[in-house]
């Protein structure tokens, strides 16, 4: 099959990471993939596997650009277009409607937007997201496929040892290293994690917190306030954007994500697949996928005391950490592996093509 994966963000987030993983997995399975992206985008900066072609667009909704992109799709005999982020959704749904390409979109974040109704198929990673699409965007249930993100454990193999990475970070051998990966923003709520971390330190626990991701400037002051309240020590490390996430996971003792709002955070799935115990807040459809105390520790959103207690319990109980990671790895392997999810995405593509041929709205 000749498939377009189209994503508009220039940086990296869960939607972009999923788009790249899907692109590589489809190519591995023998499909030809055209990866459409903005100029200078992160998604195309690294090496791409055989069978993947990179293609740039400005995403300007202008007739000359639509014609240029449509001509590229036709020359490659594209069978289906799959979009992954807001500008890509708008651009590609207009393109698909005008030039009659079968169109699939994955809802990585539920927003009220008119374009959703015009997709041939909508992929919702969770049941909660599917309900949102039905209730707020009026997408008929018959056009929605609930397919979770998948995680390829092979990609998460570290290139460096735990000891080497911890030495580079300046983390002592006996420190409990807590990792959080994601844009530092109000939605991810890292300021709460910083305050919980300092409360943990006040209990006499030796720990280090590493925050990975770019920072939303609108949120910077809140993070700085949380750092000052805790003494602004070197125990909290702001690492910025990194490409060595597997190495950081291998060096960590715990992964924490206190988000206010998410769909299905790829970073949490990566941590579980890598064998790192996870603490996360009860955002979105988290209880659809994880059982508190079995696969992860789930705390109420915004509850600093509960977050501190959960981290403290992991520090104090190695057996709890072992049990959580073993159960989480089994769940990832059985329900969220490429073999469990990608065939369902391919079925969705087939449905989109059949629906486009006889589409009546």
Spell out the domains of the chain, with CATH numbers in brackets: 2-150+337-357 (3.40.50.2000), 153-335 (3.40.50.2000)
Measured between alpha carbons, how far is 289 from 206 in angstroms, rounded to an integer? 32
CB 256 within 8 A of CB 279: yes
Sign for the pseudo-dihedral over CA of 338, 339, 342, 344: negative
Measured between alpha carbons, how far is 349 from 29 in angstroms, rounded to an integer? 15
CB 273 within 8 A of CB 208: no
Phi, psi of 132 (to 5 degrees): -60, -45
pLDDT tops 50 at residue 360: no
Q: Which residue has the tokens 């990475």?
A: 165
**Pair type for strands 121-124 and 144-146:** parallel
Measured between alpha carbons, how far is 60 from 74 in angstroms, rounded to an integer? 19
In the numeric block, which tokens belong to residue 273?
A: 């697949």
Q: What is the DSSP letter of 218?
A: T
The H or E element that residue 297 is part of is strand 297-299
Q: What's the mean per-residue pLDDT of the chain?
A: 93
pLDDT digits (tens, 9 = 90+) for 259-305: 998 888 889 999 999 999 999 999 877 878 888 899 999 999 999 99
pLDDT digits (tens, 9 = 90+) for 204-252: 999 999 999 999 999 999 999 999 998 877 899 999 999 899 999 999 9
**Pair type for strands 32-37 and 52-56:** parallel
Among 324, 330, 335, smallest CA distance to 288 is for 335
pLDDT digits (tens, 9 = 90+) for 68-115: 999 999 999 999 999 999 999 999 999 998 999 999 999 998 889 989
Predicted local distance difference test score (pLDDT) of residue 84 = 96
Q: Which residue has the tokens 């989480």?
A: 328
Sign for the pseudo-dihedral over CA of 139, 6, 146, 188: negative
pLDDT tops 50 at residue 361: no
Question: For the residues 130-146, what does the mean pLDDT come to?
Answer: 95
The secondary structure of 260-277 as a DSSP string is: SS-S--HHHHHHHHTT--
pLDDT digits (tens, 9 = 90+) for 29-67: 999 999 999 999 999 988 899 999 999 999 999 999 999
Could you tell me the pTM of the whole model?
Answer: 0.88
Question: For the residues 146-159, what does the mean pLDDT come to?
Answer: 91
Among 160, 116, 148, smallest CA distance to 288 is for 148
Predicted local distance difference test score (pLDDT) of residue 89 = 96
pLDDT tops 70 at residue 359: no
Neighbours of 192 (CB within 10 A): 22
Burial class, 114, CB count within 10 angstroms (exposed 0-12 / middle 13-18 / buried 19+): exposed
> For residues 61 and 358, which has the higher predicted lDDT (pLDDT)?
61
Neighbours of 335 (CB within 10 A): 12
Predicted local distance difference test score (pLDDT) of residue 158 = 95
> For residues 172 and 289, which has the higher predicted lDDT (pLDDT)?
172
CB 151 within 8 A of CB 269: yes
Question: For the residues 326-334, what does the mean pLDDT come to?
Answer: 94
Among 7, 1, 71, smallest CA distance to 36 is for 7
Measured between alpha carbons, how far is 199 from 235 in angstroms, rounded to an integer? 13
Q: What is the DSSP letter of 148?
A: -
Among 44, 91, 52, smallest CA distance to 68 is for 91
Question: For the residues 195-201, what does the mean pLDDT come to?
Answer: 95
Measured between alpha carbons, how far is 346 from 28 in angstroms, rounded to an integer? 13
The H or E element that residue 313 is part of is helix 304-316
Neighbours of 358 (CB within 10 A): 6
Range with the poorest average pLDDT among 31-40, 84-93, 340-349, 350-359:
350-359
Predicted local distance difference test score (pLDDT) of residue 358 = 66
């Amino acid at each position: 099959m000749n498939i377009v994966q189209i994503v508009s963000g220039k940086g990296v987030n869960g939607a972009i990471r999923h788009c790249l993983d899907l692109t590589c997995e489809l190519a591995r399975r023998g499909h030809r993939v055209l990866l459409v992206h903005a100029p200078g985008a992160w998604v195309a900066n690294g090496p791409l596997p055989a069978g993947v072609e990179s293609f740039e667009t400005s995403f300007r909704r202008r007739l000359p650009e639509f014609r240029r992109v449509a001509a590229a799709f036709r020359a490659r005999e594209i069978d289906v277009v799959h979009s992954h982020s807001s500008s890509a959704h708008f651009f590609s749904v207009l393109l698909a409607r005008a030039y009659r390409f079968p169109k699939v979109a994955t809802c990585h974040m539920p927003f009220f937007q008119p374009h959703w109704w015009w997709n041939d198929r909508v992929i919702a990673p969770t049941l909660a997201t599917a309900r949102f699409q039905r209730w707020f965007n009026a997408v008929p249930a018959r056009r929605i496929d609930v397919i979770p993100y998948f995680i390829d454990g092979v990609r998460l193999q570290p290139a460096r040892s735990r000891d080497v990475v911890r030495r580079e970070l300046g983390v002592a051998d006996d420190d409990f290293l807590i990792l959080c990966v994601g844009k530092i923003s109000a939605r991810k709520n890292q300021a709460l994690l910083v305050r919980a971390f300092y409360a943990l330190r006040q209990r006499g626990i030796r720990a280090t917190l590493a925050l990975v991701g770019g920072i939303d400037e609108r949120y910077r002051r809140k993070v700085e306030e949380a750092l000052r309240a805790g003494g602004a020590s070197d125990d909290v490390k702001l690492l910025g954007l990194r490409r060595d996430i597997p190495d950081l996971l291998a060096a960590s003792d715990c992964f924490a994500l206190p988000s206010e709002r998410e769909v299905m955070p790829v970073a949490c799935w990566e941590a579980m697949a890598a064998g790192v115990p996870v603490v996360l807040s009860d955002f979105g459809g988290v209880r659809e996928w994880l059982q508190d105390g079995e696969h992860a520790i789930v705390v109420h959103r915004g509850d600093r005391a509960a977050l501190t207690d959960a981290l403290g319990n992991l520090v104090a109980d190695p057996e709890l950490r072992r049990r959580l990671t073993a159960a989480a790895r089994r769940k990832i392997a059985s329900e969220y592996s490429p073999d469990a999810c990608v065939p369902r995405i391919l079925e969705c593509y087939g449905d989109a093509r059949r629906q486009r041929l006889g589409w009546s709205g």
